[in-house]
Amino acid sequence: MRINKYIASCGVASRRKAEELILNKKVKVNGKVVEELSLQIDENKDMVEVNGVKISQDEKSVYILLNKPEGYITTVKDQFNRLSVVDLLSKVEERVFPVGRLDYETSGLLLLTNDGDLTYKLTHPKHEIEKTYIAKVRGKLTEREIKDFRSGLHIEDYTTAPAKLKILDYDNEKKISTLEIKIHEGKNRQVRKMCKAINHPVMRLKREALGELTLKDCKIGEYRHLTEKELNYLKNI
């Protein structure tokens, strides 16, 4: 088994993060620092260490849906000592990491797991699933802005894929629009950048759904384990 896949299967990190650990010389196999990303190991014989800790595939796989509040980061560690989403999982004994990310100011649906293979699948561009957001933005959108948003916007060094946009409400007194936005991509702060590109900056943003998964029966700051039906859905995408 390739070393990054083995690390992911042990619930330490995704395959991509595992490669970063290897490049940073944080991984050893049988006492020797791993130099090659393509290294193949025998999971039944070789001893693998990450950051000096021996890892194994014994840990059971867990799959968690969290309703993330604003003010939490989706990385495990932070140089500014801000709260992490893992701080909300005090009763979860297994090491888990987020599938994708939600930025610090964004709330809503976030998956966490120690299944590196599923994380790799769900974050790979080939398998990007539809993400539904509710955004409160400044101002009232014009028909032209709506058309541009739906067609794709040039942001920084890329053009977004066509997106779905629905106007849910407009508060004439506060000059605030409530939008339902659906995208397939998952680039950093993409929804915020798209709204800014049409001159309607985001004031509040929440992810309501990930494909068929929703926040039903999960209040802000709370989490639950995925049902068998939900897990089968993700694995069969």
For residue 13, with 0-12 CB atoms within 10 Å meaning exposed, 13-18 middle and 19 or more buried, which class applies? buried
Distance from the Cα of residue 13 to its chain's centroid: 13
CATH number, domain with residue 19: 3.10.290.10
pLDDT at site 160: 94
This prediction's pTM: 0.79
Query: Do 43 and 24 belong to one domain?
Result: yes
Rounded distance between C-alpha atoms, residue 111 and residue 225, angstroms: 10
Query: Do 115 and 219 belong to one domain?
Result: yes
Query: Do 153 and 45 belong to one domain?
Result: no
Q: What is the mean pLDDT of residues 216-234?
A: 94
Average model confidence (pLDDT) across the chain: 91
Query: Do 100 and 138 belong to one domain?
Result: no
Rounded distance between C-alpha atoms, residue 21 and residue 19, angstroms: 5
Q: Which of 14, 234, 236 is nearest to 109 (CA)?
A: 234
Query: Do 223 and 112 belong to one domain?
Result: yes
Distances (CA, A) of 228 to 21, 61, 65, 117, 235: 32, 13, 13, 17, 11
CATH number, domain with residue 184: 3.30.70.1560
Query: Do 192 and 157 belong to one domain?
Result: yes
CATH number, domain with residue 95: 3.30.70.580
Confidence of residue 8 (pLDDT cuts 50, 70, 90): confident
Query: Do 155 and 167 belong to one domain?
Result: yes
Query: Do 144 and 205 belong to one domain?
Result: yes
Higher pLDDT, 192 or 20: 192
Does residue 59 have a pLDDT over 90?
no
Q: Is 217 a known active-site residue?
A: no
pLDDT at site 219: 96
Query: Do 220 and 112 belong to one domain?
Result: yes
pLDDT digits (tens, 9 = 90+) for 129-169: 899 999 999 999 999 999 999 999 999 889 999 999 999 99
Confidence of residue 179 (pLDDT cuts 50, 70, 90): very high
pLDDT at site 212: 94
Query: Do 134 and 199 belong to one domain?
Result: yes
pLDDT at site 215: 95
Range of the domain at 42: 3-55
Catalytic residue chosen out of the listed positions 103, 115, 117, 148 = 103
Count of domains in the chain? 3
pLDDT digits (tens, 9 = 90+) for 122-140: 887 777 789 999 999 999 9
